Amino acid sequence: MTAEELEFFPAASQGGPDYGERIRAVFEKHLVKQGLNLTKQRLRILDFLIAAKRHLELDEIYLALRKHGIGRATVFRSLKLLEECGLVDHVTTTKGASRFEIKLERPHHDHLICVECGNIQEVRWPQLEKIQEETCRKLGFAPTWHRHEIFGRCRRCAKA
Amino acid sequence: MTAEELEFFPAASQGGPDYGERIRAVFEKHLVKQGLNLTKQRLRILDFLIAAKRHLELDEIYLALRKHGIGRATVFRSLKLLEECGLVDHVTTTKGASRFEIKLERPHHDHLICVECGNIQEVRWPQLEKIQEETCRKLGFAPTWHRHEIFGRCRRCAKA
DNA sequence: ATGGATGCAAATGATTTGCAGAATG
DNA sequence: CATTCTGCAAATCATTTGCATCCAT
């Protein structure tokens, strides 16, 4: 396994200059195309996700923003819109709620999920992706997305 | 990718002589150890899973067996027991209910799930397993289980 | 004005649990 | 007899929707 084949990176690796602007532009474009509006609630939810730089549960977002009068349903519907335009992805955890993250300009990655502390570590496996694609092609299976999650105990929790 | 690296097999590849007997033996042993009993309901549920040779939803089992007076809760609790002793595994599908399958003596495999017809195709990726293990070791992550599912349209549905 | 957007509360759907009676060893 | 089991119904919990109202254009 070489360095190209295996790359780790923190969720915070996203960014660069004007990252937030680019994200908002994609969102607005999507909304306009659908005849929808970029409301302040939607913007606030998106900004919160960008700032978090990690996987958030719907309720984490809701609890943080309800002081601004934003309801759970709005968070839910905004996340849906954000997924529709490819800005956001979600991870279905074993038990409990899904976790959402910004994915624009972030390479595809898989997740190591600590069942102890809930922390999610990301890992890139370009080689695995290649094998998957080849397999699907051979089988005539047309993949739209995949989920590859390893559950266990992270370094810190494994020691404790 | 060689033949050893990539192996497909139908869910019905399980079996061989006395397969059902071996499964029942594992179950009974587990129950006895816990001071529990191998009741006729539990046996019926297990047998139904063995006979099915495919991924079943809890409700499929329930609907098939309720004519024998078996309740949903019993199916639920039996599946839990069967997972505890390693006889059964479940796949969390995108939407809807989990699907359960017998796993005794079946090699680990991943799933290609058709979002159109719900069919689940299985695939073995020994090479991928190896890479995963190595990565976890490097990161000090102690894996307990993983889930690797590709969603898309199967050959038949992709054509239609 | 008109259509989209929001928040609330209630519906949904899968999963899980409490409990009283039945079955088991 | 002392537990364990079971089925029912009801509780949970995340997710989703209906609806009256609010807001932006």
Tens of pLDDT, residue by residue over A28-63, are 999 999 999 999 999 999 999 999 888 899 999 999
Residue range B12-39: average pLDDT?
87
3-class secondary-structure state, position A30:
helix
CB A85 within 8 A of CB A99: no
Q: Considering only CA atoms, which residue is closest to the C1' of nucleotide C14?
A: B97
* Cα of A113 to nearest chain B Cα, Å: 9
Cα–chain center distance at A23: 13
B9 touches chain A (CB under 8 A): no
Whether the pLDDT of residue A124 is over 80: the answer is yes
pLDDT score, position B1: 32
Q: Would you state the pLDDT for residue A2? A: 30
Q: Give the model confidence (pLDDT) of A126-159 as tens digits.
A: 989 999 999 999 999 999 888 888 988 999 988 8
CA distance B148 to A136: 14
pLDDT for residue A13 is more than 80: no
Q: What sign for the dihedral angle of Cα B43, B108, B7, A126?
A: positive
| Closest Cα in chain B, distance from residue A67 (Å) | 31
Region of B124 please: left (phi>0), alpha (psi -120 to 50) or beta: beta
Residues 6+ apart with CB under 8 A from B21: none
What is the DSSP code (8-state) at residue A110? E
pLDDT of residue B47: 95
Q: Give the span between the Cα atoms of B15 and A147, in whole angstroms.
A: 29
Please tell me the predicted confidence (pLDDT) of residue B16. 72
Listed residue (B118, B158, B125, B110) closest to A142, CA to CA: B158
Q: What is the pLDDT of residue B5?
A: 30
Asked whether the predicted pLDDT for residue A75 surpasses 80, the reply is yes
**Contact at CB, A146 and B143, closer than 8 angstroms:** no
d(CA A93, CA A118): 9
Answer yes or no: is pLDDT of B37 > 60.
yes
Residue A120: the pLDDT is 84
Residue nearest to nucleotide C23 (CA to C1'): B39
Position B10 pLDDT exceeds 70:
no
pLDDT at site A92: 77
> What is the average pLDDT across A10-25?
73
Q: How far apart are CA B7 and CA A154, in angstroms?
A: 31
- Strand order of the sheet with strand A7-8? A7-8, A120-124, A110-114, A142-153, B142-153, B110-114, B120-124, B7-8
pLDDT of A119: 82
Query: Could you tell me if B108 lies within 8 Å of chain A, comparing CB atoms?
Result: no
Is the model more confident about A78 or about A107? A78
pTM check: above 0.85: no
pLDDT at B118: 77
Domain boundaries, chain B: 3-159
| Contact yes or no for B155 and A140 at CB 8 A | yes
What mean pLDDT is predicted for residues A86-103? 85
Higher-pLDDT residue of A12, A51: A51
Q: pLDDT for B115-124, tens place per residue?
A: 778 788 999 9
- pLDDT at residue A132, as a whole number: 93
Q: What is the mean pLDDT of chain B?
A: 86
Q: Average pLDDT of A119-125? A: 89
Name the architecture of domain A3-159: Orthogonal Bundle (1.10)
Q: End-to-end distance of chain A based on CA atoms, in angstroms? A: 30
Assigned token pair, A107 = 């390479």
What H or E segment, with its residue span, contains residue A90? strand A88-91
Average pLDDT value for residue range B57-78: 95
| 3-state SS, residue A120 | strand
